[in-house]
A and B are shown apart, each in its own frame.
Chain A
Amino acid sequence: AQKVTQAQTEISVVEKEDVTLDCVYETRDTTYYLFWYKQPPSGELVFLIRRNSFDEQNEISGRYSWNFQKSTSSFNFTITASQVVDSAVYFCALSEASYNFNKFYFGSGTKLNVKP
């Protein structure tokens, strides 16, 4: 079974629209970390955020915000006022205590197209 599911394969928005990327995870561990990475067309994965399982506070960083809900096993990512430079593939990932946090499970990614 997939440990990380990103059901949205591709999303297209017009610049300045808000967009939310969904991530649902599955784990039996009580201690785990969740991540979001961005993969622009250049191909290099860029770290965006890390969140541990004991911290359900939402986080905001500029135009980016993350909503972590353990009750629904979701860790969604919202981009406010999207820009063309946000166009990329975004990956959600999970690491678990049972693997000493060294085995990352990635979702299949959501490709975001932001049109001018």
Chain B
Amino acid sequence: GAGVSQTPSNKVTEKGKYVELRCDPISGHTALYWYRQSLGQGPEFLIYFQGTGAADDSGLPNDRFFAVRPEGSVSTLKIQRTERGDSAVYLCASSPGTSGANVLTFGAGSRLTVL
């Protein structure tokens, strides 16, 4: 697509529920990133994919968080047993993935509210 698309744009859930957030990167971009942005803060790195594999998942806060990218395009961030502290905007970004410092193109984000 023309830009990075994220769905849903807003998700309200109850504590303890399971949530999936989807990211559709720019067509042809091999690198995909998930960030989390809490209110009044900058984006915080969660995980980075190069192709289908998670090249760096060191930012995932705990084992309730998991992300996949099975075909090297669309990615899904999965959160189990949600907690109120998971409330944030989850940002997805993609880049061409070539060597050197790529510029990240961000989506509009998925705002998650855990009640």
Contacts and interface: CB of A to CB of B under 8 A. Distances in A.
Interface in A52-95: 52, 91, 93, 95
B105 A101 contact: no
A37 B105 CA distance: 10
B106 A103 contact: no
Interface residues of B, number: 28
B33 to A, nearest CB: 8
Contacts of B104: 45, 47, 104
20 contacts: A6-B42, A35-B103, A37-B106, A42-B108, A44-B106, A44-B108, A45-B91, A47-B105, A52-B101, A91-B43, A93-B42, A95-B101, A101-B101, A102-B31, A102-B56, A102-B102, A103-B48, A106-B35, A106-B42, A109-B41
- With most chain A CB atoms within 10 A of its CB, the pick from B42, B106, B109 is B42
Contacts, number: 62
Contact of A102 (B35, B48, B103): B48
Contacts of A43: 89, 108-109
A109 to B, nearest CB: 5
A103 B91 contact: no
A58 to B, nearest CB: 19
Interface of B: 31, 33, 35, 40-45, 48, 50, 55-56, 58-59, 89, 91, 93, 100-109
Given A46-B106, A91-B43, A109-B41, 6 more contacts: A44-B109, A47-B104, A47-B105, A101-B102, A104-B43, A106-B35
Given A43-B89, A102-B56, A108 B41 contact: yes
